[in-house]
Every structure is written in structure tokens, then in C-alpha cells.
Amino acid sequence: MASLGLPALRGLLRRGSRSSAWQVPAASWSRPFGLGWNEPYSVRYASNLDDGAWHGMPLGGFGAGCIGRSSRGDFNLWHLDGGEHWFGTVPDCQFAIWECQGETKRAHALATTPDRDASRDGAAEPLKSWSWYPGSTEDVKTGTYAARYPLSWTHYEGVFAAAITCEAFSPVIPGDYQRTSYPVAVFRWQLSNPTPQPLELSILVSWRNMLGWFTNTDASAEVHFRDDGSPEHNYAPAIGSSAGHRNRWVDASGFKGLILDGQRSDSVEEGQGQWCLAVPDDLEGVEITRCSRWDPTGDGAEIWGPFASDGRIPDSNNDRASRPGEQVSAAMAVKLTLAPGESREIPVVISWDLPVTAFASGVGEWRRYTDFFGVDGNNAAAIAAEALRDWMSWRERIDRWQEPVLNKAEIPENLRMALFNELYDLASGGTLWSAARPGDPIGRFGVLECLDYAWYESLDVRLYGSLALLQLWPELDKAVLRSFARAIPASDDTQRPIGWYFTQGKGRVEADRKVRGATPHDLGAPNEMPFDATNYTAYQDCNLWKDLASDFVLQVWRTFTLSPTGEDLSFLAECWPAAVEALRYLKRFDVNDDGLPDNGGAPDQTFDDWPLKGVSAYCGALWIAALEAALSMAQRLHLELGLDTGDDQHAFGQWLEQARSNFDDLLWNGEYYRIDAESGTPVVMADQLCGDFYARLLKLPPVVSEAKSRSTLNAVREACFEGFKNGELGVANGLRRDGTPLDPNGTHPLEVWTGINFGLASYYRLMGEKKTAEAICSAVVDQVYSGGLQFRTPEAITAVNTYRACHYLRAMAIWGLWATETNWSLIPGAADQPMSSESTPA
């Protein structure tokens, strides 16, 4: 879809223009409006999250909270409480269209008939006076939903005489550390009259006052174990709470709208603040009517009757505070007439100002956007005003950054689509982005491993999944690694039961939460104090993991060398002491002094249900690459900053020499690397040479020879990809050389891990095997985006149509394709330096 310049876009808001037939935008995921799935993927473990296939693209900036609208038109995803998840349709949060052509009138709310109101128990038939939009069938299409993050489009056809499309987006823009944090969604309505007669049209936007809903009412946030052995905490949001809600009109320079407000504490608390609905006040020939309160618990006739009659709603500015149990919604209608052949654009903005994210009792953070709008929770209108003023420039900037990828025709279109759409998790992955503070100039940042494993920035997972953040928002990637650097020297001797032993029937085994010098697995969970209390997960004792220290060192060197903003020596120096401590801690597990840490028999690496024993190919290759990275760090810091790194260089050099001399001897079997040196497990491990990929990506000395790399990749392709379901699902984690499973009931070996597949494909691509790389990626992308897993990409899929751990961070590893494909500087904006929050008045 070609973009228009700002003058042309502004003109469309005020005058007519002919439009061509709508087409699905390039490199977008699309689906007929309202058409369901015959056999979508279902969850593998009953306790894991499965909301069903009706997921659409999220709206809202990073860490601001986000909302999601599906391909059947309902708003159903509500990630407005940092790190927490609530999914369900609120029917009165909706758009509607009224149309009059001569004597013919029609009106539809722009979603298929809701099953119920998820915010109200026992509400079987919500808003029964409303006319809902018909969904598509296999034979008749009534519209199309398409998404190319952060843009989505809903095109309506065959129901109204007018041509109607709604484009929705938030200002998620690489390198912009201000607008990317905004809690706002822009809905760009494009209306055209292809008929020979005038058409009267009206757009209705209605919204429930949901203030106070999104906060946990369970003060204990009790932790317990699922059936898969992973910990989870109770989450009981205050859905439906309504006492003190009040809505009112707002008229300000540049816009008209409605403010949805609520009760306030002396200082604003989590869930408190404002919502705002707004449209420009200078649209020619447009009539705006507003109703500040109506009852969404009845049949909806008080709003729908007048709207369906003449496209207006009753003007009312009643700001009475609601009583306990009394629900209240607000609505606004925008009415206009289109001459034959005329087109108009009407922007509608929904913004929210919920400035606090709360964690453990009494602990919370201001969200990043408060650096620019203040912390009193009264700024929803100011956010909406900026959106109405600047949305066209935001839209152009999104076009500019997406253009290099869109134009890269040698990358198949489905993979270009996935490059964009897998970024959704940066907004909806329970994202935390706090306000700036001393030492954190753009705040602290984190994305959950996933909603089932709800802890931030699992280091083994982000080794793959953070390649997108590095390329597009590199300062956020640095912020995460700074948090890990601070956590490595910390300790916490609190004893915790380790979940894996329960699943194995081995009883209660406890371990320290965090040992000094151990690289933490994660940065903590939203029910505690993330960033300050780390190593939340207790499925395994992560103090014993053999990949985390290497993962940290490689990511620090990667971010230093590959950041589009250039090399940052101060960042490298800040992380250096932690890198040294982490590597020295990991070396303790070299039980036979051969230069290589030994795995201990219990799963102690990212494949945390897969026991390895002795030196392993996966952990050993990462260790060698990390030592090479550490030596490069030490040399740069000594030469350019004068740091005394001699002792560390000597130790790392000795370890590296030993490790290199023993790695092949212990693990090479003549065709590929054995999974480990002591278990005797006869499988081809798909991701055995992740460390070699990282070394080559960072232009460090490779871990293995090119001949052995290619031989290994050939064995992986034949056994784990082509030998597993004919390559239709992707690469299985580990199979015998002939493609058969070692254990037909195995867990990790028989799963296809989306992020591991994307990372492995990047390795093939780096080695020049582009055809294999694209085949692997295409298999996984096709399963995700045809199987009802879009915008909730899981960690793992299986051959029996099940998945595990949706909304998974590692899947952003698909950006490894771009890292190996081209010059990152081609992404406009990514290299921009973050503006100081101090330069913008709050």
C-alpha cells in the first residue's frame, strides 16, 4: 500500500478524493472477517493458557499496556496491568457504522455477535438490540482483517454501499524512545462512496469505563506449581468494579471527545487514571454527538435506537459518579455525507493514562510514558491531542522504517510478514518499561518469557529473541543487559523447591534462589519486585545452568559490536565486571579441568526438560564463543580505556586453549557433534552449534571448522527437518540420525521450538544455505499463521496439533534472518539516539 505525503493526507481529512479498490497490504497476515478455524492448535498441557484462535494485533506502546482487536472485530485482549493477562470480549467497547442511501438505512456494530460479556457473570445475550456485523463464511466474504505490525486493517465489503476500511496503529517506531512508549491507538477510518447517489454515514465509537479493573485483588499473589512443574501466581483482577466512575465531555484545541474518569486515592494507584475518546474538531461538514453515560448491561437500545435511526446519539454530558455495581459506558458519533465518488478520512483516537504498574505490596513503577506526560493520571486528553496532531507523521515514519524490509523481494513475503508481526510481543508480552531514573536514562525494560512462564527476559531465551530489540531499539537492549550485570553479583539464600523433581517423582529438593556470581535466569516476576528480585523460575535450579553465563557475555559483546547506534565503550565497561564474575563462576563446573564446564545430569540449560551429562555440544560451543568474546572485550577495554584486564585475559586464554583442544575430541563423531560426552544419548541435537552461529555472527574465530559446521548442518537437516514429518512442521529438537524418535513420548526432543527454528535458520543463512533457511522458517511461519496461533506465537508446536507456552519471547529470533541478510543501518530510525526525558516537561 503506497503511502501519502502529509499535505495529501491532511487534504483528505477535509475534501473529497477518489479511491481505488482496496487490496490486502503487502507482507501482512490476513483472514476473512469473522471466519473461524476448523482445527486450530490447542494447548498441550491443560494448565497452560489457551484463549483460542481469536487473536489480533495489539495496540499500545511498549510498557504502556495494550489492547487487542481480533479478526471478528471484538476488542478482547487487555494487557493493561503490567505483566498480567486478561482475555475476554467487552461488547460495548466497539465501533459501529450507520449508512443512509435514499430511503435505505442500515447500521451494524463492527463485530460478529458476541457470545457473552466477559466482564459480567451470567450475561448470556449482551446488547441484544444491537445489530452485529455478519461474519464471513467459506462461500461469502464480508470483509478482510490484515496486520503488519504495528499496522492493522479491517476492510468491510458486501454489507454497506460505502467502501469502508479502518486502519489501526500505535506509534511504535524504531529508535524513538518517546512515542514508542505511548498508551494510544489511532483508528484511521477511510470512507468512500462508489455509488451515483449521496451517502450519509456515521461512525460510532463506544467504550466502557474500566478504571480500577486491571489490578490484582489477591494481595498474597500466592505461588503454586502447574502440572508441568512451572510456578505461577494467583491473579484476580477487579474486572467489573465500577464505583465512582464518571464520564464527561472534553473540548480542547484541536479535538472534541470524552474523558472516562474514576475514583482516586491521594496518590494515583495501579488501575487508576483516565481513558479518552477523541476526534478532530475541524472536520468540514461533520456533525459530532456525544453521550457521556449509558448503561451497557441492558439491551443497548438507548444508544442503538437513535444511532440506527439517523446516525446520531443523544447529546448528554452527565458526569454523575456511578454507584457500586453500576456499569457505565460513553459513546460518540461522527456523521457526514459523501457525494458520489467522494472519499474522506476520519481519525479516531483512544488513549489511556494508567501511570502506575504495581508489583509486590507497596512496590511499583511509573511507566515510561510518564516521563513525557506526568504521573498524576490526568493526561489521557493530552496524549489524545498529540496523537490527533501528529498521527500522520507517525504513520509516515512507520512506512519509512518498514520500506527496506518490504522491498527485500529476495526474502519470501511470508517471512517478511513474520518479521513485522513477531514484534507484537514487545507490546503484549506483559512488557514493563519504567520511567527514567539515575543510572537508567531511558528506564528499565523487560518482556516476559511468556504468559505461562511469567518472568522477565529469560536470558537463555533472549539469546535468540532479543535480536529484534537490538536492531530496532538498541538502547532498550542495553537496558536489559545492564539489569543482568547488576544482578550477577547479588545473592539470595532463600530456599525454594525445584519443580522438575516433583514431575520426576523424586520428592522435594530445595535450592538457594540466587548464588553470588551465578548469572540469573531471569529478571524476576510481576508479582514480586522485578529487576531487584531475580531468578524467579524454580522449575530447575538455575544456579547450576551451564549456558547462562555464556549467554550473558555473548549478548553484551553482540550489543557492543552490532548496535546500529555504534560502539558504546561505557556500556561495555559497565558490564565487564559482571562478565568476568559470571565466567569465573561457570568455570567451577569444569569438574575434570579440561577447560569445558560439565553438565550435571539434571536438565541445566535452556532445554530444561532434557538431561545432559558431562561436556555438551550446546553448552560447550557457547562457552568457547563466550571466551572469545570476553578476550575481545578485555583487549578493547585495556587499549581504549586503560583498564587492567591482564589477569582475566591470561585466565580466559588458557581456558580457551584447553576448551578448543578438547571439544572436538570429546564430542565429534565424524559427522556431527554428540549431544554430550557421558550420557550416550544417540540423537542429533538440532541446535548443537548455537555457539558457532554466534561466533560467526559476531566475526569472532569460529568454534568449529567450516567443514564440520556444514557436515553437522547437513545431518540436522536430514534427521530433524526432512526426516520429521517431511519438513512440514519445522525442525524437531532431537531425533536419531534416521529421523526416528529416541523416546516416542519425549517432551523437548519431539517439539518444534519456533525460536530455535528461527535461530537455526539464521545459522543456515549465515553459512550461505539460504534455501534451507527459508524452508525451515516458512514451515514454522505457515503453521503459526494458519493454525490460529497468530499474535500468540508459542515456544513449541507438536506433530499432534498442540502447542506449549504462547506469547513466547524466543520467536522474535526470526530477526536473525535480517541480521544475516543486510546492513542494519537500512532500518531508518533505529540508530537514533534516545532523547533525554529531562528535555521534555512532564
Task: Retrieve residue 121's grid coordinates.
Answer: 457473570
State residue 240's pLDDT score: 94
User: What's the pLDDT at 1?
Assistant: 35
Name the residue among 832, 837, 817 with its Cα closest to residue 566.
832
* Residues 447/457, Cβ–Cβ less than 8 Å: yes
Q: For residue 4, which phi and psi values (nearest 5 degrees)?
A: -105, 145
Distance CA 824, CA 734 (A): 33
Report the alpha-carbon distance of residue 739 to residue 736 in Å, rounded: 5
Task: Say which DSSP state 166 is in.
Answer: E
What is the C-alpha to C-alpha distance for residues 811 and 552, in angstroms, rounded to an integer?
A: 19
- Please report where in the chains the cell 553448552 appears, as a residue: 619
The burial class, CB within 10 Å (0-12 / 13-18 / 19+), for 2 is exposed
Report pLDDT for 831: 84
Low-confidence ranges of the chain (pLDDT < 70): 1-20, 122-124, 221-222, 227-229, 822-825, 835-842
Measured in degrees and rounded to the nearest 5, phi and psi for residue 649 equal -60, -40
Helix axis angle, 706-716 to 754-766, nearest 10°: 140
Running DSSP on this structure, what letter comes out for residue 508? -
User: Which grid coordinates belong to 526?
Assistant: 510481576
C-alpha dihedral over 165, 171, 173, 176, to 10 degrees? 160
Would you give the distance in Å from CA 197 to the centre of its chain? 45
Query: What CA–CA distance (Å, rounded) separates 56 from 185?
Result: 14
Separation of alpha carbons 524 and 431, rounded Å: 13
Residue 218, pLDDT score: 84
What cell was used for 591? 569438574
**CB under 8 Å to 441, separation ≥6 — which residues?**
834, 836, 837
Task: Report the alpha-carbon distance of residue 656 to residue 433 in Å, rounded.
Answer: 38
pLDDT score, position 221: 62
Left if phi > 0, otherwise alpha if psi is -120 to 50, otherwise beta: which for 753? beta
Q: At what angle do helices 569-587 and 646-667 cross, to 10 degrees?
A: 50
Peptide bond into 701 cis (omega under 30): no
Helical packing angle, 770-786 and 754-766, nearest 10° = 160
Partner residues linked to 164 by β-bridges: 156, 191
Q: Which of 328, 323, 168, 356 is nearest to 260 (CA)?
A: 328
Strands 684-685 and 734-735, sheet pairing? antiparallel
Percent helix, strand, coil in the chain, to 5, is: 30, 20, 50
CB environment 501-510: b (16+ within 10 A), e (fewer): bbbeeeeeee
Cβ atoms of 614 and 643 within 8 Å: the answer is: no
Query: How would you class 440 by CB atoms within 10 Å of its CB: exposed for 0-12, middle for 13-18, buried for 19 or more?
Result: middle
Crossing angle of helices 569-587 and 548-562, in 10° steps, is: 160
C-alpha cell at 158: 458486501
pLDDT at residue 228, as a whole number: 64
At residue 266, the pLDDT reads: 84
Contact 783, 405 (CB under 8 A): no
Residues 629 and 587 sit within 8 Å (Cβ to Cβ): no
> Would you say 330 and 207 are in contact if contact means Cβ atoms under 8 Å apart?
yes
Burial class (CB in 10 A: 0-12, 13-18, 19+), 38: exposed
Say if CB 525 and CB 619 are below 8 A apart.
no
With a pLDDT cut of 90, the percent of the chain lying above it is: 87
Look at residue 264 in the predicted model and tell me its pLDDT. 85
**DSSP letters of 387-441?**
HHHHHHHHHHHHHHHHHHHHT-TTS-HHHHHHHHHGGGHHHHSS-EEBPPBTTBT
